[in-house]
Amino acid sequence: MKKNVLFAAAVLALAGGSAMAEGRWQTSNLLQDPAFLPGWYGMLTATADGVAEAWDAPFEVYQVITDAPAGEYTLTANAFYRFGSNDYAKENMKDGANHHANIFLGTATTPVEGLFDKKQDGCPNSTGEANTAFGAGEYLNTVKLNHAGGDLRLGIVLKEYRADQWCCFDNFKLVGPAGEVAITNGDFAVGLSEMNKETGEKGAWDFLNVSLQAKDVDINKEGGANGCFRKTNASPYNFGQLIELPAGKYRFGVKSFYRDGNGNQSGWYIKLKGYERVEGESSYDRHVAGTEDASLFPLLYVAEDVEDFKPVSADEIADIIAAGKLYKETAVKCIFDEQLDVYPNNEPKSDVVAEGEHGYADSGFEHEAAMVFLKNPEMYRNYVEFELAAATKVWVGLKKDVNKPVHYWNPFRDFTLEKWVEGAGINNILADDENAPVEYYNLQGVRVLNPENGLYIVKQGKKVSKQIVK
């Protein structure tokens, strides 16, 4: 409690108006294919027929235009959203209801047009048909922003979940005060790539197992990615990319958590690949007792390149350190490290598939993790920080070296590489605040996810204030 009180005092001091920022973390745009997709950060299910799509999953893809000048900006994109199956969407998206997908530009958002908003028949039912409709100028969405100057974030997001929901989008175009602003791969001409056993395509990332053999990341699962990439069930992995960075201070990040087995409840868990309830020690029990095995946790890492080196074993890491080369790692957070009323769960819910629900999905409930990640931007964010004295080739990646435990769960999304910028100007600070997530704390300094009536400390980026919530 003492820590919270000190935090509250510090935040209240800022709310009264005091400290100036000495610097800030800025998206570097040096990470290649950050969402396994050129140019785009976040997470996407698939691309096909020149169109990006997400189905059966919450998702977000975005780009950051760094140091964008002040002025009015307009973002357009061809996009549609379907809430559930065709028949369900026709009945339940009337009069603007259930339009959950949004394109955004800084703090400005606009709901994506519903698939059946303007007509009930002859609507796209595949990515090929979506591509044809987009080419004819249909489903054009627009959002405008009067930007104060500084970094500008844009993209498309869907934070809710319903089985069979579907969103297609293409042709992002940004126009600012000086004309059109370049958006990398805004037409998705280069699609999603992973280590594909059939085609060999892999983009900028190398996907390996502990024996340096090709190892897929589960990008697609149960008809879609369910909102996150993931690894699970005793599978070791190591994927990363080689990148040359200028001198500077950096942090490599990912939204992710790890659970060292099944079970969010005490005393029981659901058996993997089935519905059998097993009485016994759960992952939650081990966390509470402090008996989790730290050597099993996935690691976010950075390693200075040594003749195409890929960090795998402790001996090789020791050799790098002994040679005076850079190696740093950070263990991914445990699912129970954050305070939630209900934790995401990948265990099967039912053997009966109801409207809007899944039945058995072989641990395919990543949409639960995705909703927590998207609705709580600062939760489960993991970083490894490092500093380079000169331009250096480094590996950045995520790995799990141990082939156990059998039921582990490790969803992840939104890889980022940020560079520390000293002495950020006031315009950049304001822009940062404008795009930052809003966090609420009570007067004791305890974070509140769903504030109700009362006085709260409200933090957005570097801006802090006291507000009454009604």
Give the model's pLDDT for residue 2: 37
> The sheet that has 150-158: what strands, in order across it?
41-43, 59-68, 150-158, 101-105, 108-111
Q: Does the structure show a pLDDT above 70 at 342?
A: yes
Q: Which of 15-29, 211-225, 232-246, 317-331 has the highest mean pLDDT?
A: 317-331
pLDDT digits (tens, 9 = 90+) for 57-69: 899 999 999 999 9
Predicted TM-score (pTM) of this structure: 0.82
Give the model's pLDDT for residue 121: 96
> What are 120's two structure tokens?
């009930």
pLDDT digits (tens, 9 = 90+) for 128-156: 999 999 999 999 999 999 999 999 999 99
Are 59 and 158 in contact by the 8 Å Cβ rule? The answer is yes
pLDDT digits (tens, 9 = 90+) for 302-317: 999 877 666 666 777 8
Give the model's pLDDT for residue 274: 58
Distance CA(234)–CA(17), nearest Å, equals 50
DSSP run (H or E) holding 329: strand 327-331
Sign of CA dihedral 270, 274, 276, 278: negative
Buried b / exposed e along 21-32 (16+ C-beta atoms within 10 A): eeebbbbbbebe
Q: Which amino acid is at 406?
A: V
Q: Where are the alpha helices (DSSP H) in 301-412?
A: 314-322, 366-375
